[in-house]
Structure 1
């Protein structure tokens, strides 16, 4: 539930133990452990041994980082390959912008996941990428921010090569 108090907006996330475990597992499977991060790093309103035990348990899972299965890696590389080809073929300026944003997002996610780092959405994706490797984050972000679609395509291709290369012909989902 979202509240407003003294000009500030804040959200309350309340779960039963089973409900939390279900949502936490779902977030971890999607490589975006939002509620786990809130539990481990958030400000507790009420603290007891149960909370401490939950925090310890989930902090350990968080510290393990994600594991990207080969099939998931190939699917992600396939999607990036397809978007990369779409960007190189695009002539419409709006299409180029949209595809560029998607390419940044998908490529950044792959970069993080292949190194055992959790991903994020919105502002959290570039933050996590910079936290992991500021140099590679800048190399991917700079052509996106400047609108240099050709340079973005080159950088994405370089990251795709690091990840195992393009996936296209013969790929099955």
Structure 2
């Protein structure tokens, strides 16, 4: 049954804060509704800062006709999430805070938003030469699996794994943030629209027709500047 949305996104978020967190130090509305990318199933991502909150938590609920995901932090707990997101190169929390629309103004909100923006602009830590070799090996291994596979059911999931590995490699070797699911393509688009279209086309052709050629060429082209496919001489933990 389709949810009836009583008010628009910003109004719903403000009503939510007034009802559940009236004394918070600050709050932000983030996510697809802020970026103008909302769909019929989009929820509201709301980040709340409560000075006396002992531990951070996340909760999902429905209010004012909207599915809402609320992320509650005290004035220091968010830093751990910033750090973890930066370490995995998927800046979910910094992105939410940086792009968020302020629902409740305070001095701390401006400072935290600036902190998030600086992290995003800095980018993730550069990969070491050894990390690049390891990633080359795993791409080569999965690529060979795809080339040699003759079972359609297995090919589909091998291709899925290769898409994740290749997109990660392209982005991280260029010191860019990575993404998962829909953010995999969004991250590629933010970095290089031309490559993102080539990437999407290669996998789209495979999923529609079973033709692997475009994926194989794409993966080899990505690896080429770093020495190409890598097998002979690879060692891990020796």
TM over 0.5, yes or no?
yes
- With normalisation by structure 1, the TM-score equals 0.92
Give 5+ residue unaligned stretches, structure 2. Answer: 1-58
User: Cα offset for 1:47?
Assistant: 2.3
Cα shift readout 1:38-82 (whole Å, capped 9, x = no counterpart): 111112332211111111122112101122222222222111111
| Structure having the higher Rg | 2
Cα shift readout 1:9-58 (whole Å, capped 9, x = no counterpart): 12111112332111110110000010010111112332211111111122
Cα shift readout 1:80-132 (whole Å, capped 9, x = no counterpart): 11100111111100111111111112101111111121011110110111222
- Mapped contact 1:120–1:128 kept (Cα < 8 A): yes
1:136 matched to 2:195: yes
Aligned partner of 2:230 in structure 1 is 167
Aligned partner of 1:114 in structure 2 is 173
- Mapped contact 1:24–1:33 kept (Cα < 8 A): yes
Divergent runs of 4+, >4 A: none
What is the alpha-carbon distance in structure 2 between the residues aligned to residue 161 and residue 7 of structure 1? 51
Q: Secondary structure at the match of 1:22?
A: helix
User: Cα offset for 1:172?
Assistant: 2.6
What is the alpha-carbon distance in structure 2 between the residues aligned to residue 70 and residue 108 of structure 1? 18
- With normalisation by structure 2, the TM-score equals 0.68
**Bigger helix fraction:** 1
1:149 matched to 2:201: no
Q: Secondary structure at the match of 1:17?
A: coil
Give 5+ residue unaligned stretches, structure 1. Answer: none
**Bigger strand fraction:** 2
Change (3 A) 1:44 1:69: farther
Aligned length: 173
What is the alpha-carbon distance in structure 1 between the residues aligned to residue 101 and residue 60 of structure 2? 16
Aligned partner of 2:86 in structure 1 is 28
1:94 matched to 2:157: no
User: Cα offset for 1:163?
Assistant: 4.1
